[in-house]
Copies of this chain bind each other. A is one copy, B any other.
Amino acid sequence: MIIQLENQISDQLKKSIIEKVHELKYKTTEVNTQKGNYIIGIGKKDFDIRKIGHLEGIADIHIVSDDYKLVSNKWKVKPTVIDLGDGVIIGEGHFAMMAGPCSIEGEEQIEKTIEHLKANNIRIMRGGVYKPRSSPYSFRGMGIDGLKTWYKAAREAGIKIITEVMQVSQIEEMYDYIDIYQVGARNTQNFNLLDELGRVDKAVLIKRGISGTIDELLYSAEYVFSAGNESLMLCERGIRTYERASRNTMDINAISILKEKTHLPVIADPSHGIGIRDHVEPVALASIMAGADGVIYETHEKPDEAFSDGQQTLNFAESARLIERMRKTYDLRESF
């Protein structure tokens, strides 16, 4: 049960509502986001809404049979739309393209990439400055200094930044230089990180875990939302299966299923989803037909010289072709 409270509710009134809910044997969690105040009630599923629906201070009550609540499609009428400012909008009717290298490597690379994005009218650039690497001996990214360099160039060009945050202490450090915090596939269930991202007023994109279920992804989003941050996106980036012909198995089903289950925007990552340069385009276009609200992918001027993920990175010519085809595919889907 989600109880939406009236905006100007007094503490006393709120307290009396919570008491009533406790009388119904529901446990409660108070949620105050940047956009609204809610009481989440967890308890038995069959429940007579009339027992509390009339109480003063309640704007609306929703029965949500899913085990996740605030991110469920069952209570929120409209899809979530995320406004990054300067006309960059994600969600419902605004197809989001995010492109850039796996790792930020230096000033020249940043400039070349921004030039490519501008030429193709892409407004969001991806790139890693903190890199989660299986081996401690691999390149772990340029860190905060790389981010500052990137930020300067991107701001001048009107480009927004999405980059991965790996731990709580980086949230504040990065805050002034990014537009979207990305939670990587190895941190999807790093609950402390999710809790803290719920307290920030910047957008968050959560990647599905390496072998996370769709439900687990929704629960992880519930962590961020219930801690206060509604500016949330989810990202399908392929799952781990027995098949070895591709790096991961892009779960195209998940895109369609997530669109049914949640009001949050769903982004597809075909680069990680298949992991092979020549196949990124078909998987990207397929993701759009499956319902994705956006695509995030890797591009680099010279993929073979990239510090990481070169095998799945498009060069700029391939990227430009993909962008054009994505736009046409999205238009077709929207025409249905």
- Residue numbers in B under 8 Å from A159 (CB-CB): none
- Sample 25 A-B pairs with CB under 8 A, ordered by A number: A40-B137, A67-B135, A68-B135, A69-B137, A134-B215, A135-B219, A136-B191, A166-B191, A167-B167, A167-B168, A167-B190, A167-B193, A209-B210, A211-B240, A211-B242, A213-B244, A239-B241, A239-B249, A243-B254, A249-B253, A253-B274, A256-B274, A286-B286, A288-B289, A329-B332
- Residue numbers in B under 8 Å from A290 (CB-CB): 282-283, 285-286
**How far, in Å, is A94 (CB) from chain B's closest CB?**
19
Given that A135-B219, A245-B214 are known contacts, is A285 also in contact with B279, CB under 8 Å in the complex? no
- Residue numbers in B under 8 Å from A240 (CB-CB): 211, 242
- Residue numbers in B under 8 Å from A251 (CB-CB): 241, 243, 249-250
Given that A135-B67, A226-B136, A285-B290 are known contacts, is A245 also in contact with B254, CB under 8 Å in the complex? yes
- A155 within 8 A of partner (CB): no
- A273 within 8 A of partner (CB): yes
Partner of A336, one of B136, B243, B245, B325: B325
- Residue numbers in B under 8 Å from A213 (CB-CB): 242-245
Complex CA gap A241/B136 in Å reads 26
Given that A169-B168, A244-B213, A249-B241 are known contacts, is A227 also in contact with B136, CB under 8 Å in the complex? yes
Are A279 and B257 closer than 8 Å at their CB atoms?
yes
Identity of the chain B residue whose Cβ is nearest the Cβ of A260 in the assembled complex: B278
Partner of A136, one of B29, B186, B243: B29
Identity of the chain B residue whose Cβ is nearest the Cβ of A284 in the assembled complex: B289
Q: Which of A248-287 contact B (CB under 8 A)?
A: 249-257, 260, 273-274, 276, 278-279, 282-283, 285-287
Given that A191-B166, A241-B241, A244-B244 are known contacts, is A253 also in contact with B226, CB under 8 Å in the complex? no
Given that A274-B253, A287-B286, A290-B286 are known contacts, is A134 also in contact with B242, CB under 8 Å in the complex? no
- Residue numbers in B under 8 Å from A166 (CB-CB): 191-192
**How far, in Å, is A292 (CB) from chain B's closest CB?**
9
Identity of the chain B residue whose Cβ is nearest the Cβ of A255 in the assembled complex: B282
Complex CA gap A289/B288 in Å reads 9
- A146 within 8 A of partner (CB): no
- A22 within 8 A of partner (CB): no
Identity of the chain B residue whose Cβ is nearest the Cβ of A243 in the assembled complex: B213
Are B243 and A239 closer than 8 Å at their CB atoms?
yes
Are B133 and A29 closer than 8 Å at their CB atoms?
no
* A-B contacts besides A257-B279, A282-B289, A286-B290, 18 pairs, CB < 8 Å: A132-B189, A134-B219, A136-B191, A136-B226, A167-B192, A168-B169, A186-B190, A213-B243, A214-B245, A215-B245, A238-B253, A239-B242, A239-B243, A245-B253, A256-B279, A260-B279, A283-B290, A325-B336
- Residue numbers in B under 8 Å from A227 (CB-CB): 136
Given that A168-B167, A244-B244 are known contacts, is A283 also in contact with B252, CB under 8 Å in the complex? yes
- A89 within 8 A of partner (CB): no
Of the candidates A133, A166, A285, the one having the most CB atoms from chain B within 10 angstroms of its own CB is A285
